[in-house]
Structures are given as C-alpha cells and as structure tokens.
Structure 1
Amino acid sequence: MPMIRRLVALSFCCAVSAPALALDEGPTFDCADPASQAEEAVCASPDLAALDRELARLYDLAVQDPALSGERLDELRAMQRGWIKGRDACWSSDLGLPTCVRNAYALRIHGLRGRYDGARAEPGPSTGPFPYVCDGTPALVSASFTQSGTPLAILTWTEGFAVLPLIPAASGARYGEGETEFWTKGDEATLTLRGQAPSTCQRDDMG
C-alpha cells in the first residue's frame, strides 16, 4: 500500500506540474482563446512564444520607466496597439504567417530597445542596438540580438531590414537566411546582402 500511495502521489504531482511548465514556456496571452491567426501561430511555436515573452518584458520595462514623460507613454501605448494590428495582419503576408510574425516581433524588440531607455534597464535575452559602420552599402547598420528561442540578429538600415537566425560557424556568431548573412567576430562583422559584395563592418559604440 505505501508503494501504491507513492505512485499515486507521483502521478498527481506530474499531472499538476506539466501544465505549469507549458504555461511558463508559452506566450503572455491565453492560447485557449487566441484573438488572431498570428496568435495561433505564436501558440504553436516555442520560438515565437519566447519572442512574445521577451517583447512583453521590454514593453513593461519601458512603460514602468519613471523618467518617461506622459506624452511619450501615450506614444508608446499607441505604437504598441498599432504593432498588434500589424502583427495580426501577417495572415496576408507573402512571407508566410510564421516568418512574418517572427519578423514583427523581432523588429518591435529592436525598436523598443532603441527608442526607450527603460527597455534596456535590466539584462535579459536581448541586447543592443549596436551601431556598425560598414565599408559598403549600407554604410550604417543598427543591430540587436536576441536569445529568445532560436537566436536572431535583427538588422536595420535606411533602405531596409533583415531578421537572421543563427547558423553553424567555425568561429564567431554567424546569422543568415537566403542570400543575406551577418557574421560577427568580436567587434567586427561581415555583412552580405543579396546581389552585393560582402561589406566589412566595425561596431562603433555600445547601443
């Protein structure tokens, strides 16, 4: 009987613990009632759920920043509402729903970190943005990185952007997708864009 009771107790413990673990690894909204196809995609992907949690963390830090003026707080909240609408419109993207949603989260993380000091107030899975000066086109690239789920490099420049997952490399950190690649080694990086020769970039200052 003692052995049976222990097995029953263990089974009950595991049954209770499993949903809690799933909740910790899920997004910040209720997957039992997703509000859009984009939220359904997030619920189905651990990587997207991790990006959702990191975005929520940065947004909360920015909102709670005591140095943020009322005007900028209103701007932040309005931009977040607009961002949600944009993310939810990913169902119609030519990139496909998961890639569009990934890019939406990554670019919002990059934007929050760059625009709001409060979003950088505490260490977490994302870093940056860091400015890189390159010897080709574009001449200036802003780069953030996130370790939420699959590690990503998030690059923006005047003419466009790239969201690149980490790929195998013998040294340094190499991010790439399609014909676009960003390979960092210390403060130096090589940027390769589709149809262009590789550019050598130097990190200019901490972002």
Structure 2
Amino acid sequence: MKIRKFRVGWVVFSLSAAAVLVYHQVNAAEPSFDCTAVADGSIEAMICQDQALAALDNKLSEVYHQAADKATNEYPPTLKAEQRGWVKGRNECWKADDKKSCVASEYQWRIAELQARYGLIRPTASVTYLCTDQPGSEVIATYYPTDPPTLIAERGDSVSLMYLQESASGTKYVGRNESLWEHQGEAKVTWGYGAPELDCKVKP
C-alpha cells in the first residue's frame, strides 16, 4: 500500500511539472522576429526575453501589415524605409538609463502613428480652427483614440502628426515642428520650426 501511494504521488507530481512546463512554453516571449538570430545583449534579445515587449512587437507587426495593405499605392513609397529607420531608432534605446521603458515607448508611439496616419482606427472628432495670421487661414485637426492619443493636423498642403502631452490646462498636442494647445474653444498653434504662435478659434 505504501508503494502504491508513493507511485500515485509521483504521477501527480510529474503531471504538475509537465503542466508548469507547458504553461511556460505557451507564455514564452515570442516576438514577430526570429529570436535565434539575435545577438546577446542586444535590444532584440531583451525583447525576446520580455513578454510585455514581445507583445508590443507582435502588435506593431499586425498594425504595420494593416498599414502596408493601405500603402500599396503610396507615392513615393515611404512606409518600408520609415520602418527600417524606426527599428534603428528603437535599437538606440541601449543608451537609455531605463531601456525597457524606452523600447516600450518607441513601440507605443509607432503603433499610434501608423493607426492614425493610415486610418486604421476610427477618429473621435474632426475640428476646424480659424487662425488670425491671414484671411482664410485654418487648421483642421482630426483626433484619434490611439495610445497615446494622437491628432493629424492639416494646414494648406502641410500635414503634421501630433501626440498628446501633459498639460496644466486644456489639451496640448506636439509634433515634430508643430503644436496645438486647445482650451475652451481657443487654440495656440505653432506651425513650423521657429514659427510664431498663432491664435485660433474653433470654427462654429
């Protein structure tokens, strides 16, 4: 009887160990790229070893392919070149004090950019701001519920993607050389490097 109990206990233990092994295999970090080909100590290696970063990589891969489907007639074809540039920028996170936070932010910003630029997510609002710098001057801002939130602003033939920033009052979005700070129906808009700030109001 003692031998029987021992065998039963051993079988239960073996099954439990197998279940744990399967659990870890299922939940192992598996990004969209081949982890066997990455260099030790690289940003790619860190992504392979971190489930949260691997999940972000898979999310970006999904969004990128959705964007690529919409960019088939894009001229000039910039999506692939921009993605290669983004990868190089992401890998520069090895210089950051908090490498994981840097990489996660790079992924979140790129996912949000592609979702907004290629209309992969439905906008929440489109607002026209009338500005006082010259007659007929206006900025059209389309807002997207990305993470982080974004807007695409159009002024004449120029387009700018902006991200929501922390602000003491109102909502402030900042792009490469442009910004839009809206509060109670009025907005301060900067359009271009070193350009003066424009006073704008929501078009009724």
Shorter chain as denominator, the TM-score bin is 0.5 to 0.7
* Aligned-pair CA distance for 1:142: 3.7
Q: How many residue pairs are counted as aligned between the two chains? A: 162
SS at match of 2:21: helix
Q: Distance in 1 between matches of 2:86 and 2:19?
A: 40
* Pairwise CA RMSD: 4.5
* Aligned-pair CA distance for 1:34: 4.5
Larger radius of gyration: 2
Q: Which has the higher contact order (CA 8 A, sep 6+)?
A: 1
For 1:133, the equivalent position in structure 2 comes to 127
1:120-159 CA-partner distances (Å, limit 9, x unpaired): 3xxxxxx45545538799973643424xxxxx43456678
Change (3 A) 1:115 1:42: same
**What is the letter of the counterpart of residue 31 of structure 2?**
P
Matched, 1:61 2:66: yes
Whether the 8 Å CA contact 1:110–1:129 is kept in 2: the answer is no
Identical aligned residues as a percent: 27
For 2:31, the equivalent position in structure 1 comes to 27
**What is the letter of the counterpart of residue 109 of structure 1?**
I
Instruction: Name stretches of at least 5 consecutive residues in structure 1 with no aligned partner.
Output: 121-126, 147-151, 165-178, 183-189, 202-207
The counterpart of 1:14, out of the listed 8, 17, 20, is 20
* Aligned-pair CA distance for 1:6: 2.6
Change (3 A) 1:91 1:17: closer
Whether the 8 Å CA contact 1:27–1:50 is kept in 2: the answer is yes
Instruction: Name stretches of at least 5 consecutive residues in structure 2 with no aligned partner.
Output: 1-6, 132-138, 154-158, 175-179, 186-204
* Aligned-pair CA distance for 1:55: 0.7
1:60-85 CA-partner distances (Å, limit 9, x unpaired): 2333x38823x669532222111111
Change (3 A) 1:154 1:98: farther
Whether the 8 Å CA contact 1:48–1:102 is kept in 2: the answer is yes
For 2:144, the equivalent position in structure 1 comes to 143
Q: Distance in 1 between matches of 2:71 and 2:62?
A: 18
Matched, 1:87 2:83: no
Q: Distance in 1 between matches of 2:60 and 2:51?
A: 14
* TM-score, normalised relative to structure 2: 0.54
SS at match of 1:28: coil
Q: Distance in 1 between matches of 2:105 and 2:129?
A: 26
Change (3 A) 1:67 1:46: closer
Matched, 1:153 2:149: yes
Q: Distance in 1 between matches of 2:168 and 2:52?
A: 20
Superposition pairs of residues 67-82 of structure 1, within 5 angstroms: 68-69=72-73, 75-82=78-85
Q: Distance in 1 between matches of 2:149 and 2:51?
A: 18
For 1:149, the equivalent position in structure 2 comes to none
Whether the 8 Å CA contact 1:135–1:199 is kept in 2: the answer is no
Q: Distance in 1 between matches of 2:162 and 2:61?
A: 22
Change (3 A) 1:57 1:80: same
SS at match of 1:103: helix
* Aligned-pair CA distance for 1:53: 1.9
Q: Distance in 2 between matches of 1:129 and 1:103?
A: 22
For 1:180, the equivalent position in structure 2 comes to 167
Q: Distance in 2 between matches of 1:163 and 1:197?
A: 10
